[in-house]
A and B are shown apart, each in its own frame.
Chain A
Amino acid sequence: MRKSTLVGLAGLVAALAGVSYWGARPTPRTWSTTSGAALTAFEQGRQAAEKFYHLEAIDHFRAALSLDPEFFAARIMLAESLASSSQNGPAKEETARALETADPNALTPGERGLWEIAQLRTQGKSDLVYPALERLAKDNPGDPSFSRQLASQAIMRGELDKAAKWAEKTLQVAQNDAMSYNTLGYIEMGRGNFAASEAHFKRYVFIAPDQANPHDSLGELYTVMGRWEDAENELRRALEVNPRFFPSWDHLARVAALRGDEAGALEAARRSGEITGVDQEQLDSRMATLRGYTALSRGDRDGLIAIARELPSDAVLGDTGLLRAIAASYQGDLAALRQLASAASAAATKAEETGKKGPRPVLALINSMRLRAEGHALEAAQVAGSAEAALNFSIDQAILKLLLRCQEVEALAAAGERTKAQQVLAAIEAVNPSFPCVETCRQLLGRH
C-alpha cells in the first residue's frame, strides 16, 4: 500500500474518531441529584411554583427531599415556596438547613447560583443580590429562577424596563411562569399598554384560574380602564376563589367609590377590615377616604369638602392628602394649600430618606393645585404633567395619574391653553372615559 493511501486512511480514521469524540462529549448536568424520582418530583414542584401553587409546590419539594435529602435545589426552592405562602419561619429554617448542609463544590453551576443568592440574603447583603443575579442569569440562560428573581428585584428598584426585560426572558424558557405574566401585566398597565397588559393578565388567569391573584390583577386593570363592571366581575371572581383575599375587597371598595356607590364601597372596606383586623381608627380613616372618592365621583364638592374636614390633619400624603388638597382647591383656600404643600414636602423628604419613592407624585399634585390657586396656571400644568411619568405601577398610582392629568387639564384651561387641555383630556378619555374628574374637565372645556 502506498504511503499516501496509508496517510489518507489514517486521516479518515482520525476524522471519524474526532467527530465521534466531539459528539460524545458530555455537557454539564443541571441538578445535583442522581435520583430520577426526586428529579421528577422537583420538576413538578417547580412547575407548581411557577404557577403560584405554592402549597402544591411545597408538597412536591418535600417529596423530592424525602427521596434525596441532600438535593440542595429542592430545599432552597422549598424555602422560597414556604416564604411565598407566608410561612416565613419554616422558610428561614429550610434556607439555613440548606446552606448548612450543602457543599458548594458538589453543586451544579445552577445550584451554586441559588446557594450564592441565599447566602447573600442570609448575610443581609441585599445590595449584592442584584448584580449576582445578573451574572447568574447570564451564565444560566436556561434557568428561569434567576431571571424571575431579577424581574422582582428590578421592580423593587423601580427599574420597570429592566423588570419587563427579565420577565420576558423568564417566559422564553418557562412559558407558564405566572409571576412573569403578572409582572408584565402591571408594567404594561403602567405604560398605558392596556391591551398588552390585559393579554398578560388573561394568560395569568388562564394558567391559574383557581387563584385569586390573577383575577384581582385583571380587576385592577379594568378599574384603571374605567371598565367598572368587568372590574367588579373579576374582583368578585377572585373573592369566589378566595373570599379572604382582602386586596380584592379593597379594590372592590375602590371601584364602588369611583362609581359613586358609597354603600358598596363602605361594605367592601368593612369586609377587608374584618379580614385584616385593622383597628377602628384606621377603618374609619379608610371609610372617610372612600366617601371622599365617592363624593368626588359624584361631583359633590360640598360633600367632599365636608368629608375632608373629617380626615386626619396629620395625614398629608396618599389618598388623604389628595382629597384634602382637592377640597382646599374647591374652596379656593390658598393658605390651606400652601400649608398642605409644605407639610407634604417635608413628609416626602422624610419618606425618601427611608427609600420610598411614592410620595413625590402626590406632592406634585398638591403643588400643582397650589400654583394654580396662586395664579401660576402654566407652571401648575407643567408640574402636573411632569409628575405623570413617575406613575406607572399599581391601581393607586394609576388613579393618581388620572387625577394629575385632570389637574393638568384644569391648569391649562385656566392658562388659556385650551388646545393643549383638549389633547390631555383626550388622553385621559382614552385611558378611562369614566373616571370621575373627566366629566368636570369636559364641562370646563365646554364639551358635553
Chain B
Amino acid sequence: MNRGHTTGLLSVLAFGVAALLVAGLSILDMFLPRPYDGVVLEADRADLAVRAVVAGSGAARAGIEPGDRIAGVAREVVRTPAEVERALQQHRIGETVTYLVERGGQLVEREVQLGPRRLGTALYLYACFSGFLFFFIGLYVLLSRPDAPAGSPGHVFFVLCTLFLLFLVCRLRPASYSWVDGVVLTTGTLSLLALPAAFLHFFLVFPRRLQLTLLPTDEGWRDSEPPLLRAAERFVNLSPHLFTILYLLPPVLYASTLAIGSILDLRVRLVSGAPLASWVLMGDYLVLGLLALLASLLRAREGPERRQIATVFFGTVVGVTPFLVLGVAFPSLFRIDRYLLLGVIPLIVVPLTFAYAIVRFQFFDIHVIVRRSLLYTLTTGVVAVTYAVGIAAFNLIFRDSSIGSSRFYPLILALVILALFDPLRRRLQEPVDRFFFREAYDARRAVEEFSEAMVREFSFERLDAMLTTRLSELMHLEWAALYRREGSAYVASRAAAPLPAELSDRLVLITELARHDAPARLAVLEPVKALDHESRTTLEAFSRAGARLLVPLRTREELHAVLVLGPKRSDEEYGRDDLQLIKTVANQGAVALETARLYREQARQLELAKELEIARRVQVALIPAELPVLPGWQVAARCVPARQVGGDFYDALVGPDEGTLALVVGDVSGKSVSGAMLMVAAREILHTAALGGARPEQIMQIANQRLYTPQPRLFVALAYLLLQPSGRVTYALAGQPAPLVRRLRDGRLEVIEGPAPVHRLPLGALKEGAWDLRELQLSPGDLLVLYSDGMTEAQNLAGEFFGEERLHSTLVGNDGQPAAIVEGLMSELREFVGDAEPYDDVTVVAVRWMGDA
C-alpha cells in the first residue's frame, strides 16, 4: 500500500474514531441516571394530565394521583412535557422540588423528591442502532479495501455512514441540559451540514463517477456548441474540485447566513438547531443524490450490477423520502419540526438495503457484515461479563484474607485478571471469528481448491477455461482473458474485441510483465506507453475494454501467459486479499501451464519414438534378408538404421536383361513413419519399373515422376547399380555418393567419377530430370563399394566425422570377401563412433567381380 493510500485510510479512520467517541459520549449521557419525579403523563393530551404515578416515587410520596394535572414544576409554570423535562433537569437526584398540581379545579402545591431515571428512550436506542448499523457497514467496507485510494467510493461510503451515525446519535437525542449537550449537539449539527454533501458525493461516484451529458457528442454540434455548457460538463465530469465545492457549500451557507444576519441586524431562523437554509440545502442535496442514483440505475447494464443499484435505489428512496418530507419540507415550508423523528425512522431502510445488497449481490464484496456485527457485539458482551464475574469471584474469595486487605491487592487483581482475560478472549473469539469469516474463508478455500485442481490439469483448453471463466465466477469478475504463449506470440484464448487477438513477445509491455512477480494495475504500467508504441496501443485497448489488472503467469524467467482481468461486478477496486488470491492463482496457473507444456512435449516425444519404431520395423522388413546370387559376382550388403534419422534401404531388382542384377541403395527424405511410407513407395516403384522391363534410365525417370509431389517435397537419394555377367557395371547416381572401386591389380582405391551434379539429383526433387548412366568395367577380383552418407557423416563423441579418408583406408586395408569387407567397415565404424548415438542410417553394399563363371 503506498503512502498516500495509507494517509487517506488513516484520515478517515481517525474521523471514524472521533465520531465513535462523541457518539459514545452522547449515549453515556442519555443513559446516565437523571432526576425524575415518577409522574407518567397522558400521551395523547397536551395538558400534562397525570396518567399514572410510579409506586414509591417522589410523586407518589407527595400524594400526586392519576387524574391530577401538573401546572408548575420548580417554581415555573409549565404547559408542555418538554417544559417539565427542562425544569427537572435543573435539579439533582434527591432534591425536593415544589410542584403545582391541579386537582378537581383546585391548585395545590406538593413537595416532590426527585429520584433517578435514564433519559434514553426506546426510540433513541433505535436511532443509535440505526446509526451503528450504518457505521459498521461503512467500517467493513473501508477495512475490506485498505489499499483503496483516498476519495474512492469505499472511503466516501464510510464517511457517509459515520455522518449518519453522528446525525442519528447526536442530533436526535432528547436534550439532557448538561454540558454534554453542547458538545454532542454541535457535532450533530456539523454532521448535519456535511451529511448531504457526503450523500450526494457517494451517489455521484457510486458505482462509478456519474458522467453528465449536457451536449451531444456528434460532430454537428461541436461547431456551435455553447462553450459554457461544455465547460460545465467538463467540470462536473472530470474536476476533482466538484466534491470540494460540494463539501464547502453547506458550511459556507451556514456561516454566511449567520454573517448576513449579524451584518444586517437580522435574526437567523433556526430549525432544530440549524439554520433553515441548511435544511433546505440538505433537501436539495438529497434530491440531487437520488437523481444521480436514478441516472446510474438507468445507465447500468442489465445484470447483477443493475439489480444491485436498483436495490440500493429502492432502499434509499424509501428511507430518505419520509426524511425529506418530514425532516426537511415540513420544517422549511410549514415550520413544523415535531415530526422530524418520524422522518428519521425509515432511514434505517438505507443501511438495511445496503446490507441486503451486500448479501444478495456481493455489493462491495461483503458477505457477513450484518451477522458479524451482531454476533461480535454479543461475543464482546460475553467476554465482558466473564471478566466482571472473574473480578467478583476474586473479590469474594480474597475479601477476608490478608491478601484482600493488602494495598497491593488491586494491582495483583488487575494483573491476574489481565493474565486470564486475554487467553479467555482468544479462546472465545477464535471460533466466533471462524464463524464470522466462514464465507470469506469458503471463498478463499474455493480459490485454493481451484488452484490445486488447476495444477492437476494438463489440457491447455481446460486450463484456459479455468483461468478465465471459472476464476471470473469465483471472484465475481465481469470478465477475464488469457494470452498464452505460442511460439513468439501470446495468443488470446478467451478474449473478445476490443481486446487484441495476440501480443507479440517483443512488446516492452511483455518484457515488463515478465519482470513482475505480482498482478499489475494498468496504472502501474502507464510508463510503458512512452517506451513502445505497440505497447501503448495494447494498453489503450485493455483500458477501453475496462481491464483492471494484468497478471503475469511465469516460472523463473519464463512468462507463460498473461491473464487480463476486467472489473469486479461490484466495481470495487481489487483489494489486498484479492491481489493475494490472484497472485496465488497466477503462481499455480504458471506451474500448471509449464507442466502442461512439458507433458505435451513428453507425449510428443513418446509419439515420435513410437513412430520411429514403426518406421524401423518397416525399414527392416523392406530390406531383403538375402540378395539374389548372380554368377561371377559376390554381393554383400548391410543397413544399420539409426534411431533419429532413417530412410536408408537397399534392394535387388530384376535386371533388364537376362543374367543381369540391379542393386539399389536408397535414402528417403522424411523421418519416422512418413519416411518408411516413402521407402515403401520408392521400393514398389522401382520394383514395378524393373519388372516392367524398363531400362535403367527409364527406371530413374519413372521413379522420379512417381515420387515427385509439389507439396510436401519428397525425394529419394538413389544409387542404381546394374551388374552384368561380363563384369560390366552400369550405374546411375541420384543424390548418393559415388561408389568406390578397389582394383585387385594394385590394391588402389578409385573413387568412381560421378556424373555432373545436374545429372545426379535425387529422385522426386524436380519434376523433370535426366540421369547419366555410366559404365564401368571391373576386372576379376575388383571390388565396388556403395555407401550412404550416414557412413562418412557418422560422428564420435568428440564430434569428429568418420569421413572419406577413414573409409578409404579401411577399404584399402581389407582385401577379404565382400561380406567381410562390409562387416569390417561396420566394425570400424562402430569402433570409431563408440558410445555416440548414430545420427543417420548407415548402408554399405559391396560387390566383387570374380570373373566369368
Contacts and interface: CB of A to CB of B under 8 A. Distances in A.
A1 B221 CA distance: 10
A423 interface: no
Interface stretch (A56-64, A198-206, A266-274, A300-308): A198-206
B82 to A, nearest CB: 13
Contact of B109 (A16, A29, A206): A206
Contact of B265 (A28, A203, A209): A28
A1 B265 contact: no
Interface stretch (B72-80, B365-373, B472-480, B690-698): B72-80
Interface stretch (B6-14, B268-276, B499-507): B268-276
A195 B104 CA distance: 11
A108 B265 CA distance: 8
Interface stretch (A17-25, A93-101, A122-130): A17-25
A27 B258 CA distance: 11
A201 to B, nearest CB: 9
Nearest to A22: B280
Given A1-B213, A176-B76, A207-B77, A26 B281 contact: no
Contact of A203 (B72, B214, B288): B72
B217 to A, nearest CB: 11
Q: Which residue, B107, B109, B264, has most C-beta atoms of chain A within 10 A?
A: B107
Nearest to A177: B77
Contacts of B388: none
B134 interface: no
A34 to B, nearest CB: 7
B553 interface: no
B681 interface: no
A206 B98 contact: yes
A207 B267 contact: no
Interface in B259-290: 260-262, 264-269, 275-277, 279-281, 283-284, 287-288
A27 B277 CA distance: 12
B107 A203 contact: yes
A87 interface: no
Given A19-B332, A30-B267, A203-B71, A24 B277 contact: yes
A23 B107 contact: no
Interface in A97-114: 108
B595 to A, nearest CB: 57
Given A19-B280, A108-B265, A203-B107, A26 B75 contact: no
A119 interface: no
A275 B109 CA distance: 32
B179 to A, nearest CB: 16
A26 B71 contact: no
Contact of A23 (B105, B109, B276, B287): B276
A1 B267 contact: no
A198 B100 CA distance: 13
Contacts of A24: 253, 257, 275-277, 280
A419 interface: no
Contacts of B240: none
Contacts of B280: 19-20, 22-24
A183 to B, nearest CB: 15
B277 A1 contact: no
A29 B72 contact: no
B254 to A, nearest CB: 10
A202 B100 contact: yes
Contacts of B813: none
A198 B257 CA distance: 48
B216 interface: yes
B266 A175 contact: no
A19 to B, nearest CB: 5
A1 B75 contact: no
B215 interface: yes
Contacts of B266: 26-29
Interface string A5-16: 000000000001
Interface centre among A16, A32, A34, A195 (most CB of B within 10 A): A16
Nearest to B285: A16
B277 A202 contact: no
Interface string A304-334: 0000000000000000000000000000000
Interface SS of B by simple majority: mixed
A20 B279 CA distance: 9
Contact of B100 (A22, A23, A206): A206
A148 B812 CA distance: 152
B331 to A, nearest CB: 9
Contacts of A195: 105-106
Contacts of A175: 77-79
B284 A19 contact: yes
B280 to A, nearest CB: 3
Given A176-B77, A206-B77, A1 B261 contact: no
Residue among A19, A22, A27, A176 facing the most chain B CB atoms (10 A cut-off):
A19
B281 A28 contact: no
A246 to B, nearest CB: 26
B279 A23 contact: yes
Interface in B70-105: 71-72, 75-79, 98, 100, 102, 105
Nearest to B259: A26
A27 B267 contact: yes
Given A19-B284, A175-B79, A206-B100, A198 B107 contact: yes
Contacts of B109: 202, 206
B276 A209 contact: no
Contacts of B262: 34
B77 A23 contact: no
Nearest to B253: A24
A209 B100 CA distance: 12
A28 B267 contact: yes
Given A1-B213, A23-B332, A26-B260, A207 B269 contact: no
Nearest to A108: B265
A339 to B, nearest CB: 48
Interface in A162-199: 175-176, 195, 198-199
A222 to B, nearest CB: 13
Specify which of A24, A29, A34 lies most central, judged by the most chain B CB atoms within 10 Å of its CB: A24
Interface string A214-232: 0000000000000000000
A267 B216 CA distance: 103
A208 B269 CA distance: 33
A24 B332 CA distance: 10
A249 to B, nearest CB: 25
Interface string A26-62: 1111101010000000000000000000000000000
Contacts of A23: 276-277, 279-281, 332
Given A1-B213, A1-B214, A203-B100, A26 B332 contact: no
Nearest to B268: A26
A208 B279 CA distance: 41
A34 B266 CA distance: 11
B75 to A, nearest CB: 6
A151 B145 CA distance: 71
Contact of A199 (B76, B78, B107): B107
Interface core residue of A20, A30, A203 (most chain B CB under 10 Å):
A20
Contacts of B100: 202-203, 206
Contacts of B98: 206, 209
Contacts of A1: 213-216
A301 B79 CA distance: 53
18 contacts: A1-B215, A22-B332, A23-B281, A24-B275, A26-B257, A26-B264, A26-B266, A28-B265, A29-B266, A29-B267, A175-B79, A176-B76, A195-B105, A202-B107, A206-B107, A207-B72, A207-B76, A208-B75
Given A20-B277, A22-B332, A23-B280, 19 more contacts: A16-B287, A16-B288, A20-B281, A20-B284, A23-B277, A23-B279, A24-B275, A24-B276, A24-B280, A28-B265, A29-B265, A32-B265, A34-B262, A108-B265, A199-B107, A202-B109, A206-B100, A207-B72, A207-B77
Interface of A: 1, 16, 19-20, 22-24, 26-30, 32, 34, 108, 175-176, 195, 198-199, 202-203, 206-209
